[in-house]
Structure 1
């Protein structure tokens, strides 16, 4: 494989499992040194780090709870202390709280509010902390969701709102950081085979009905999403900024 990211340092938030872990491995395959953050699962995070090191790159796991906005600056500082720089920030960490309608008397406001704190304010805090220190010509990539653009289901208003907010924010900072040749984009997957999606599967339509909504009648693979991120992070993605790229099998077209 061509090492198009050799010499680059990447931070992936929420990199201990699911899409985050696959992105970490894929970026390492392309030659990048990789730091991942994790909230609680130190054992899983260290297992990812060992896989990355086996690929011949430098790797580091950093405990950082994105719900705590004060953790953002120490996270970025830890990456730079270890690697000397930061070229690519992948804002991946997030949670999915779904299944209640907005008029449901049983809606747990505390859980839903925490979703906004983690998905939106946590990502913003990380971006603000990284932006002054990100290398010129660098990349910021947010992992959004197709639900931030199209909402074919009930009970996902808050989750969809968090992802839509990130899209608007990304476009704004693409303007701010463009003079430094830093690109800012959002990758919007549809349904993927992750633990987080399994946790909300009870709120989806029956599987066959859900797949019928897709022109390409299957879920995205984690590798497909990860390779899209690699393209945006790499040398051929330098003139794409302020965009959302859907990896969702055409649902909603």
Structure 2
């Protein structure tokens, strides 16, 4: 199926591993140029650049600390400088610290909000203004979590709060710019086999799997295929939605 992505430029945050990496590769396979951010592992970023090139398109890797607001605000400009345009934005990067509410320190709370929510606001704001300036439509996909709706019982209240805020923000942004041709959607994930959760899965896999009606943990590639659809021309009539890709954990 032609998704209408070929030749477009996409930005993916947290793109060097896990779901982000799978999204980068899925977009590349659909013919998009991809700019992805990574935190520190240049070797992984370089390897992914080569994987993208093997798929017949081009990519750019930007080292970025999403806790640095000033640096975050330059990503759109860097992408435009490299490829001349930006059409798609996938806000995937997030942190998942563990601490129960009674023990959460303010700096950990603030860092979680900065990376998981404020950096998304900044990137979306710059992206929307770019689209309005050049007079072209665009698509934004914000990756959220089932925890935004269910909360957390395992010491991730700050993560859950940031992801719930992301859903509300995405709906508001979608309402503000629907008539400008800018679609904004959220993708709610459940449990995906990535580095972020591998330690928790290793310690108590049965606990997590038993919460999933489909009875298995998701693979990054299948999540990436859903993400690719949501930023494609096939999803032009979808905006302000949160798609449940949790294996049945949400069923909403």
The verdict on a shared fold, with TM-score over 0.5 as the criterion, is yes
Q: Secondary structure at the match of 1:48?
A: helix
* Closer, same or farther: CA 215–76 of 1 in aligned 2, 3 Å: same
Residue number in structure 1 paired with 2:123: 126
C-alpha separation in 2, matches of 1:210 and 1:37: 29
Alignment-derived partner of residue 100 in structure 2: 101
CA RMSD after TM alignment: 1.7
Deviation string, structure 1 residues 165-194 (Cα, Å, up to 9, x no partner): 000000011011111111100101111111
Structure 2: state its 5+ residue gaps.
Answer: none
Identify which range, 212-221 or 19-28, moves more after superposition: 212-221
Shift of 1:73: 2.8
Is 1:190–2:190 an aligned residue pair?
Answer: yes
Cα 1:69–1:97 change in 2 (3 A) is same
CA distance in 2 between partners of 1:152 and 1:132 (Å): 35
* Residue deviations 1:105-163 (CA, integer Å, cap 9, x gap): xx333223211111111111111121111363210000111111113623221110000
Asked if structure 1 preserves the Cα contact closer than 8 Å seen for 2:22 and 2:224, the reply is: yes
TM-score, normalised via structure 1 length = 0.92
* C-alpha contact (below 8 Å) 2:244/2:250 kept by paired residues: no
Counterparts in 2 of 1:179 and 1:114: CA distance versus 1, 3 Å: same
Match of 1:232 in 2: 230
TM-score normalized by the length of structure 2: 0.93
SS in 2 for 1:110: helix
Comparing 145-154 with 29-38, which one deviates more in the overlay?
Answer: 145-154
What SS class does the counterpart of residue 129 from structure 2 fall into? coil
Q: Tell me the secondary structure at the aligned position of residue 131 of structure 1.
A: helix
Superposed, which structure 2 residues align to 1:74-153 within 5 Å?
Answer: 74-98=74-98, 100-104=99-103, 107-134=104-131, 136-151=136-151, 153=153
2:67 is aligned to 67
Q: Which runs of 5+ in 1 are unaligned?
A: none
| Aligned counterpart, 1:173 | 173
